Structure 1
Amino acid sequence: MKYLLGLAIFLSFLSTNAQVFNEVSGSQYADPVSWEAEFEQENDSIYNLIFKADLEDGWHLYSQQEAEMEIAPIPTSFTYNTSPSTYELIGETVEPDVEPVYDQVFEANIIYFEEEAVFTQKIKVINPEDLEITAEIYYSVCDDEKCLPPETEKFTISLDNNKVTEGFTGLEISEKDKTLTQELKLDIKGADNFKIENEEESSFLSIFLLGFIGGLIALLTPCVFPMIPLTVSFFTKGARNRKRGLLNAILYGFFIFAIYLLLSLPFHLLDSVNPEILNNISTNVALNIIFFIIFIIFAFSFFGYFEITLPSSWSNKMDDKASSIGGVIGVFFMALTLALVSFSCTGPILGSLLGGSLTSDGGAMQLSFGMGGFGLALALPFALFALFPNWLNSLPKSGGWLNTVKVTLGFVELALAFKFLSNADLVEHWGLLKREIFLGIWILAGLGLAAYLFGFIRFPHDGPKQKISKGRFGVGVFSFLFVLYLLPGLTNTSYSNLKLLSGFPPPMFYSVYEKDTEAPLGLKAYKNLQDGLEAAREQGKPIMLDFTGWACVNCRKMEEQVWSEPDVYETLKNDYILISLYVDDREELPESEQFNFVRPNGSIKKIETIGDKWATFQTLNFRNNSQPFYVLLDPELNLLAKPAGYTPDASEYHNWLETGLRKKEQLAKK
């Protein structure tokens, strides 16, 4: 059972899709970018128009260059009222020269700007008298969790009057504007019954527990396990008195814990220089490939084909210092000697911890929690067995089972290596590790592990063939059952979404099979509010408003990883009317439906496209402009549950949908 537990949890150890904070907010109108414009004169006829964007921390403004990917950020674009008789543009609008950087939302290397971006357009003035230049900037911004609907900023630049005016000047709010704005306003009932709040769940405890489990696994390796009775006996019998021996053993355990915790300190220094540096370092293609190669090396080391060890001079020097110095400092060097000597077994596990922490959102602090858990698990046995030396009699004797544990870890490392290669493949769109190919490799690794545990294949350090123990047989059965669980993932059926491995394989859309993209998962999704409302009233079903976007990655993740879960899928298909409103749809509205809208900050926005309309609809009714954003209503527009945002936990999301259904039943009885 201890092997089974360790293997099962260790398989989820390296999830690079760490849980994103679950943010449910109905009062979050974000406006993270402000624009300024000015101009400067080079000579009598050449001018530079300068547009400066100031962004709040954590937000990205994207390049004018379109990213070549299926789901891409909306590029920034500039349009000018060029007139050959008054002025002409010289070249393209110049943007800051920056290298592509890994974008956490789109999971690809993309050119984007942080904090500040300055764009310059050179023009040649032909007739400066009464010359007014209008420039419209179409853009969208994202942070590490969400993107906002695209916006348009307008500047009117008067060279003759030396004046720059921001906004859509000369626009008046007509009766038509007021009427069309009012038509977007829903009479939502029951909103006061739901408290709107932000909720977040820290992953620090989870990574600490996973680190602790990693430490327990390391204890069961040939490099560490035999050291427990030897070291404890040294402290309990070698000291002048039992009290001093116990104190030294406890100090020894504390120093082991402290050493592993101290290993995370350099990453805090990097994090303090630039909070994004760990994510930028760990999520680029080159580093993911390096991790892939390292994990392959770790796997073959665990298989016994070679040993990865630190220079023996290091451990010898530490051992000499421990012997010669004595006292508290000597105990510290003994702990350091253990850390160095056991590296061939603990190194691969520490590498897993390092890779898993740095490729998630927790950064250096998350790494410290993981290393602390790892060190604590290694340290506890030395302190506990020193306090209760009779427990040593219950320890199993060292033997071939230790090598079995090591080889088993080798298969786990081999499988995890392909997660890093998959990350690189997804970023670069090589198409090497489509979802089914990735799962096929894991199936082969699982079959290899089962074959080893059942005695069909052997490795260099295996002893003579013996009867298979119950523990080894149990883990072998578990490995085979795990392979059976993976097999449906190779099919193009509703069973291909493997719930327990969410976040490990490539997403479901990254498949060797062609997928229907007209609506998420083939669901019936209305793209127009009125059509959806009529359907809901005819069928007597509640509504789920799905505020989404074509360029919204987290929207796709929800659709492919959460909506695809059988319970969620069946509930959406059978019990709700789905209305998907795309806030970045650039199809123009009929002229009769275009209007001017007064934003919450008092500025005026021209509603010209379908996306403009639905983004404004979301802002008006829910004071929120981020996606994905989900709202449950009944046909009479009663709010059935508090609105939800990105919710990667399918069970939580399904419970939210069920809450809406129960609320509708309650209202129907009144």
Structure 2
Amino acid sequence: MKTLPALWALLILPLLSLGQIQKNPATWSFSLDKPTANAGDIVTVRIKAVIDDGWYVYSNDFDPNLGPNIAVVTINPSADCEAVGKATPVGAKEKYEEIWPGNVRYFTKEALFLQKVKIKKAGTVIAGNINFSTCSTKDGTCLPPADAPFELTVQAGAATAPASATATKPLSASITTATAVAPTSAETDTAATVPNAEGPSAAPVVADPTESLTAVEGTETDAADGSLWAFVLTAFLSGLVALLTPCVFPIIPMTVSFFTNQKGGAWKALLYGLSIIGIYVLIGTIVSRINGPAFANFVSTHWLPNVLFFAVFFVFGLSFLGLFEIVLPSSLVNKADAQAERGGVVGILFMAFTLVLVSFSCTGPIVGSLLVASAGGEVIKPIVGMAAFSSAFAIPFTLFALFPQWLKSLPKSGGWLNSVKVVLGFLELALALKFLSIADQVYHWGLLDREVFLAFWVVIFALIGFYLLGKIRLPHDSETKMVSVPRLLLAILTFAFVVYMVPGLWGAPLKALAGYLPPETSQDFKIGAAGSSSGQLGANQSASRRHGQLFSLPHGLNGFFDYKEALAYAKTVNKPVFIDFTGHGCVNCREMEARVWSEAPVLSRLQNDYVVVALYVDDKTELPPSEWYTSTYDQKEKKTIGAQNADLQIVKYNNNAQPHYCLVDHEGNLLVRPKNYDLNADNFAKFLDAGKAKFAEKG
């Protein structure tokens, strides 16, 4: 559920293009592999494009959640014929596109899709459409998605010349900025037929012996190799950024403390690093085959793993403070003494396994894409990607494991080393609360509202400050006769942090901590409620909306928490809809709300120009049985608010990452290209303005 912070904000930038009118560079033609068929026969529709030089057309055999609008072939529903499976692309190339970032598949010069159709009645007409996107290889300009409809007659009886057809509507389109490019309603309405439970690449690509495509010639292998290296580099860099997230950082003090007490030299630290890589690759690959991306969502939002993480870190924190030592049971002490090396290995593997489990809850985008690729039939890429990503963890943690050994060998290390352990214990207690907070929000337990969470943090960090000044002594501490300058400086920084947090107890936003703290909407007491809404619903009416007793919007915004209800209301007030696909455990969602939504240019537009609806994709509240349904995406029954919202995001809007912001009309059709994590408030205001302008154009 959690997205990676700064790296993804840099990578996911809007495409820029020039404002002018241009004929679409792809010209389509359509034909049948055989002109006649009887009831029960299967024919193949050949969908071919000739593409102008310097342009390419996106294929349909890559992750539809990545960002680009994949090609969508639709056979119109009919009693006389029906589509068999998904259209198969022939000869598509692959490359890495940094703007998304990820691997896309595409055609240059010529494109070919093969769509099988079962004939139910002889002498019928096959009607359909391909919705496609074209982009320039020179400057990155992308045209709005366009449609090419077709009608092909299947003859009964004597054979005739092959039937053919060409697009019956003009394919010219104006080039606009990328933020104003959106899938048409045809794409969004048929999106449910595109993805499947086995991923977008599950369909085999079968070469057509009757077709010669220049698109498959040239540097396809080189491009694939280059894209793989770029993919590996992105995975590695993303892993380094993920080290700063709140669900990975707590492992650092555990690692330092564990290896401080280890014997055996550097080989154990190296084993720790290799274990992280090995376990991560093994678990990631196996899980992707069994459950796919759903497992990452389970780990990051379900109460069981989060409460377990909280308990583990809480116990380790108490151990660091000196309440007890975590040791093997007494019955195993003799065996541990006799086989110290084996005992150490078990502990090292446990530490590595713990790190792997915890990291799953904060590594959403890259892990999700790796799991999707693995589920779709990819083998090498998921393994290599997982190895690169986990190496980013392994290298720093291996260094952390080596460093205590060096510290312990220093002369006169004395009691200061225990002081380091105690400070880490306090930090462990503070960071453990993050996991309990996630479960609390998802299941609405009401245990850790924002002010309660902050109260714990204020006390814990104040105690760290007093400890550094020598005012508190814990077991195993040496007597502190004087305070060194480094300890004094650390105490000053700690107390400054405490002073920064205190106003948050009365409603201050504390933007720097937005990703760690519960949302502001969970705070019961504020001095001077900020950001009262004017405009769309009237004061304090969000609570009267459906699910309003469970959720609330930040900054005093009034809005909705049910998709259909929001669309219906927007129609009555004639405003576009701002859809916020969010989650209780989404760190970047809280950052966007605290640091972007709160800015006056953005907040005023949300208040006055849009009907706002927040759709939580990880909420576990069960709906009445009459509202349950089976998804066309993964054929699983959707029973909860979160499951249905997540399914809507995937099926309707071809995306599964949060935060994800969609500006739509009264039918739910996209007005402009959706936006994700971007801490630039000016960019976000322009995004809202573009959606409003597009809505006005539609009348």
Which TM-score applies when normalising by structure 2? 0.44
Larger relative contact order (CA 8 Å, sep ≥ 6)? 1
